[in-house]
Structure 1
Amino acid sequence: MTSVQETLRSLDPATGEVVGEYPVATAEDVRAAVDRAREAARWWSGLGWSGRRSWLRRWKRALAQGAGELAGLMSAETGKPLDDALLEIMLAVEHLDWAAGHAERVLGPRRVPAGLLAAHQAATLEYQPMGVVGVIGPWNYPVYTPMGSISYALAAGNAVVFKPSEYTPGTGRWLADRWAELRPEEPPFQVVIGDGATGASLCASGVDKVAFTGSGATARNVLASCAESLTPVVAECGGKDALIVAADADLDAAAQAAVFGAFGNAGQTCAGVERAYVDESVFGEFVRRVEELAGRVQPGSSYGPITMPGQLDVIGRHIGDALDRGGKAVVGGRESVRAPFVAPVVVTGVPEDSAAVTEETFGPTLVVNRARDLDHAVDLANESRYGLAASIFSRDRRTAETAARRLRCGGVSINSVLGFAAVPSLPFGGVGESGFGRIHGADGLREFARAKSVTRQRFRPLLDLMSFDRKPAHVALARTLLRLRHGR
């Protein structure tokens, strides 16, 4: 896919044709970019909320106006259909707009109650920029996913140095170029291109926070590197997301969602659907509908190739393990892996300790297993060491919401898949092997800011206990107040 000595070559995963060539950033290049970002951060943070909002909305317009060009580049680098690339851009622009418009409300200074003991103090909470944020992005959604960190970090007042995936360098370069066209002399947003070594250099460059999206194994390397300088990290590390179908579910809607969630983007979606747990009373009918819908999905038109060639081996291994362990292929099978494409695969009756159930497949495969009831389905879904997202289909709103609260994951869609992805005000992130921290929403803005507490004494306290000259009578009265207020 790439040559990373001095030049990185981006290839079309479907044809192998060269999409573009880019100079690889050395460790010195990365440090220089961070130094420039440090200078730009002073200008950027000094603009204030309204100034940053204005610039971010100019950038938003540039992205929207160039969406066709960007989508074409994304399609060439990832192989995804043009329509899917455009949808991704639309979502990213919505998040950019939300972050720009809500940063002041979420992060601006505000008065907070001081409480009884500190009634003489005026208490204020505010959030300040961290400085420079390093963003390491993925290839599967090379605009939407990293922009969930870039947009919110910029809106919070930080400068950003972005390392896109080595599979999608042109997409990252395009985003940075649109900013540079607006304000070339001030670079609060820059891109550095390269492979894992460039990402390691970014982690060691002195940035104030790292936002990482990728595998759990790489996340551990990022954490180890950042631990040396106590650099905080927000990490999104994939998932093994489950779709749950209750006995009263709308089976047509559930089947449609399962097929799209499992096969959209060739299954290369961290919050997509890899497992389905279906109430045994509707299991057969659900599988029949999934089988019918999956038969209409065609690799090469419905979705693109497997972007990362090495993933083909993982997908093939998981399919083989599921079948060798007694699973039944109702759609596709071992023969579905035809590089660089993988045709849809649906396997039922797969043991819960199979690799196809326990490991992230990241391909167009779906395991559908029986559950005794909704509670059992939730228990099975929670067995995973991952915990990114899930979906529940039920006509009973209260039942579905109760089940959603029990699921050990960062987000749940009821009667849809990926419903939260289009809601900028909702945070996104996982637990367990899926990582920690949040992007998007108010929590995403706070992720890239430091909370600062300020108090101002308004008048002398009636009981001055913060002094070596405190009076015994004041201590006695305070003890009495403590007992009356909290001891009864």
Structure 2
Amino acid sequence: MTFESLNPATDEVVGTHPVHSPDEVEAAVARARTAAGWWAELGFAGRAERLTRWKGVLTRRAAELAEVVSAETGKPHADAMLEIILAIDHTAWAARNAPKVLGRKRRPAGLLMANQSATVEYLPLGVVGVIGPWNYPVFTPMGSIAYALAAGNAVVFKPSEYTPGVGQWLAETFASVVPEQPVFQLVTGFGETGAALCRSGVDKIAFTGSPGTGKKIMAACAETLTPVLIEAGGKDALLVDSDADVEAAADAAVWGGISNAGQTCVGIERVYVHADVYDQFVSLVVAKAQAVEVGKQIGPITMPGQVDIIRGHITDALSRGARALVGGNGSGRFVEPTILVDVPEDAAAVQEETFGPTLTVTKVSSMDEAVTKANNTRYGLGGAVFSRTNGAALARRLRSGMVSVNSVISFAGIPSLPFGGTGDSGFGRIHGPEGLREFARPQAITRQRFRAPLTLTSFRRPEKTDTRVTKLITLLHGRR
């Protein structure tokens, strides 16, 4: 059984791919289990050398990969190149920093166990299943794939059914530099294939997608107590303070909300602007949004069903008194940039993830009001603040996993920073040291260096030992 991937702009068939059955998924995981042992035995240096070779292939053939991304998602070639460049940088960081983050380190043993040497290191989980999204089919899954590989795991990757060709390209290029074992394998298909991967006995699942699908992933993984990492979208807000660089804030809002046709999990969907600069900000945003060229600077909506959701949010907002200063229309799979004002806070366009090129812009009397409204969501992924003096303080008040101050989405381009959210945005982290540790298990080891004066772990210990230990603990910790 096979299925076709289509170009969302033209409905042209881009490629044909197999629908892998549960038995085929289990076979892939079994192969990965053997490969994982070989890959782990290479050690940090051996894995880094091969990941560096793969990084070189990704770099030299980036334009070719960008063509595959553009064909399957419809996004402009330049946008495809941008996500590939970020993925390359993250791969390099993971390979280079895995020894420092995961390698054996000494820990203090404490007074009671002063005769012990204590160490901890992070060991590979074994086989990691990655279920990737279609909106950033290289950058997003590579945040799990590259980090899991650097940590010593084999990976079985199930890409979105909208972008299987991208997954195939990644798997084939990796195999070209690591031909010895099937360390990184691909399975393709629909939800049933993803569910089979969850039940296949992998040691962890890393999933990116909607909260609804994330809950199904968790339910499937619960059957085997398979741990999961969930990145499930957001409803990110941008706050514009009275002292902000309004020109820069407007430019960032339009790019953060409309680039990739708004199909960005950490894209800006809501903007809260101080009353002192609201009119100036809106005027700039309108001009910048009107200048965006649909079909050239932004592509079509990749997933057909999302078009109805986007237009439904716009229609609901307009029916409740909102005004569309730009857009509100579109034809087929292309949706025009849309700037909405006077949108009620309980409208779908404010509360639900739109995942389209829309922005709601709301006037606030203070940044306290802006923070309250920004946090009034069940999501908690990213966000942004524009302020010359209070940016960092405001950022810390936002209930989100990441915040950019005087820019948007900058955190995604810094490999050392963790990426992930809270609430309906999911849990767990990719990227950074935290991302490497997500794909490893800590192992603590103690080694007795000499015999302790007070031996506690013996049935032969005399009563006076307990008395002495009690006095010692009281002396150390019992002071008022």
- The interval holding the TM-score normalised by the smaller chain is over 0.9
AA matched with 1:379: T
Distance 2:463 2:201 in 1: 51
Superposed displacement of residue 337, structure 1 = 3.0
Instruction: Return the match for 1:392 from 373, 385, 389.
Output: 385
Instruction: Return the match for 1:374 from 344, 358, 367.
Output: 367
1:217 and 2:208 aligned = no
**Aligned counterpart, 1:338:** 331
Instruction: Return the match for 1:200 from 195, 206, 212.
Output: 195
> Secondary structure of the residue that 1:411 maps to in structure 2?
coil
Superposed displacement of residue 161, structure 1 = 0.2
1:439-450 to 2 correspondences below 5 Å: 439-450=430-441
Distance 2:469 2:21 in 1: 62
Offset from partner CA, 1:172-208 (integer Å, 9 cap, x none): 0000000122233311101111111110111111100
1:431-470 to 2 correspondences below 5 Å: 431-470=422-461
> Secondary structure of the residue that 2:58 maps to in structure 1?
helix
User: Do 2:50 and 2:178's aligned partners in 1 also have CA atoms closer than 8 Å?
Assistant: no
1:422 and 2:413 aligned = yes
User: Do 1:162 and 1:189's aligned partners in 2 also have CA atoms closer than 8 Å?
Assistant: yes
AA matched with 2:285: V
Instruction: Return the match for 2:345 from 322, 341, 352.
Output: 352
> Secondary structure of the residue that 2:268 maps to in structure 1?
coil
User: Do 1:427 and 1:439's aligned partners in 2 also have CA atoms closer than 8 Å?
Assistant: yes
Distance 2:371 2:449 in 1: 53
Q: TM-score, normalised by structure 1?
A: 0.97
> Secondary structure of the residue that 1:225 maps to in structure 2?
helix
1:85 and 2:76 aligned = no
Structure 2 spans left out of the alignment, 5+ residues: none
Distance 1:483 1:34 in 2: 53
Instruction: Return the match for 1:279 from 274, 279, 299.
Output: 274
Offset from partner CA, 1:297-336 (integer Å, 9 cap, x none): 0210111000001001000110011111111111112xx2
Offset from partner CA, 1:82-128 (integer Å, 9 cap, x none): 00101110000000000000000000011111111111110000110
1:21-420 to 2 correspondences below 5 Å: 21-333=16-328, 336-396=329-389, 399-420=390-411
C-alpha RMSD of the superposition: 0.8
> Secondary structure of the residue that 1:282 maps to in structure 2?
helix
> Secondary structure of the residue that 2:304 maps to in structure 1?
coil
Distance 1:339 1:115 in 2: 67
Superposed displacement of residue 480, structure 1 = 1.6
Distance 1:418 1:370 in 2: 22
AA matched with 1:410: G
Distance 1:159 1:389 in 2: 30
Distance 1:229 1:274 in 2: 37
User: Do 2:74 and 2:299's aligned partners in 1 also have CA atoms closer than 8 Å?
Assistant: yes
Distance 1:279 1:485 in 2: 53
Distance 1:418 1:38 in 2: 36
Distance 2:264 2:277 in 1: 27
Superposed displacement of residue 405, structure 1 = 1.1
> Secondary structure of the residue that 1:425 maps to in structure 2?
coil
AA matched with 1:83: A
Distance 1:168 1:125 in 2: 40
Distance 1:480 1:36 in 2: 57
> Secondary structure of the residue that 1:318 maps to in structure 2?
helix
Distance 2:65 2:144 in 1: 19
User: Do 1:391 and 1:417's aligned partners in 2 also have CA atoms closer than 8 Å?
Assistant: yes
Distance 2:249 2:411 in 1: 17
Give every structure 1 segment of 4 or more consecutive aligned residues whose post-TM-superposition deviation is greater than 4 Å.
Answer: none
Distance 1:284 1:108 in 2: 54
Distance 1:477 1:23 in 2: 70
AA matched with 2:469: A
1:482 and 2:473 aligned = yes
Distance 2:178 2:366 in 1: 58
> Secondary structure of the residue that 1:22 maps to in structure 2?
strand
Distance 2:190 2:205 in 1: 16
Distance 2:155 2:361 in 1: 42
Distance 1:409 1:172 in 2: 30
Distance 1:204 1:476 in 2: 52
Percent identity among equivalent residues? 60
AA matched with 2:467: A
Offset from partner CA, 1:410-461 (integer Å, 9 cap, x none): 0000000001011000000000000000000000000000000000011111
**Aligned counterpart, 1:3:** none
Distance 1:54 1:362 in 2: 38
Distance 2:476 2:178 in 1: 58
> Secondary structure of the residue that 2:441 maps to in structure 1?
strand
> Secondary structure of the residue that 1:274 maps to in structure 2?
strand
Superposed displacement of residue 471, structure 1 = 2.0
Superposed displacement of residue 281, structure 1 = 1.4
AA matched with 1:217: G
User: Do 1:337 and 1:343's aligned partners in 2 also have CA atoms closer than 8 Å?
Assistant: yes
Distance 1:165 1:225 in 2: 18
- The aligned length equals 479
Distance 2:84 2:180 in 1: 26
> Secondary structure of the residue that 1:138 maps to in structure 2?
coil
Distance 1:116 1:417 in 2: 48
